[in-house]
Amino acid sequence: MTDISMHLNTDEIELWAQGLLPAARAMHLADCSLCRVEAERERKVILQLVQLPKFAPSAGFADRVMAQVKVHAPSGDWTA
């Protein structure tokens, strides 16, 4: 059992930011403003990272790839 007065380590802060820290450890945040500030800052960065958009390559990307891939045709021939 971890002592409730022990500061959270980086891994625990990451877990907390993701809502995964066990309640027994999360309780430490109620009493420790040092960890609270640290955890809040970390949560903000992680949230921004998690919300980053996915970008798509331009149209026809798959065709350009496929044009250069060896496909084993159903007939058994190799086509470029």
Partner 1 sequence: MVAWAKQGHDAAFRELVRRYERPVFSLLYRMVRDRALAEDLAQETFIKVLNGIKSYRPEFKFSSWIFKIANNAAIDHLRRKSIDTLSLDGAPSAETPDQVRATSLQLGDRAESPLDEVESRELGTAIERAIARLRPEYRSCILLRHVEGYSYEEIAETLDLPLGTVKTYIHRARNELRGYLDDRRE
Q: Which residues bind partner 1 (CB under 8 A)?
A: 10-11, 41-42, 44-46, 48-50, 52-58, 61-62, 64-66, 68-74
| Whole-number Å distance between alpha carbons of 10 and 31 | 18
41 touches Zn ion by CB under 5 A: no
Rounded to a whole number of angstroms, the minimum distance from the CB of residue 16 to partner 1 is 13
How would you class 49 by CB atoms within 10 Å of its CB: exposed for 0-12, middle for 13-18, buried for 19 or more? exposed
| Whole-number Å distance between alpha carbons of 80 and 77 | 10
Name the residue nearer to partner 1 (CB basis): 27 or 44: 44
Rounded to a whole number of angstroms, the minimum distance from the CB of residue 48 to partner 1 is 4
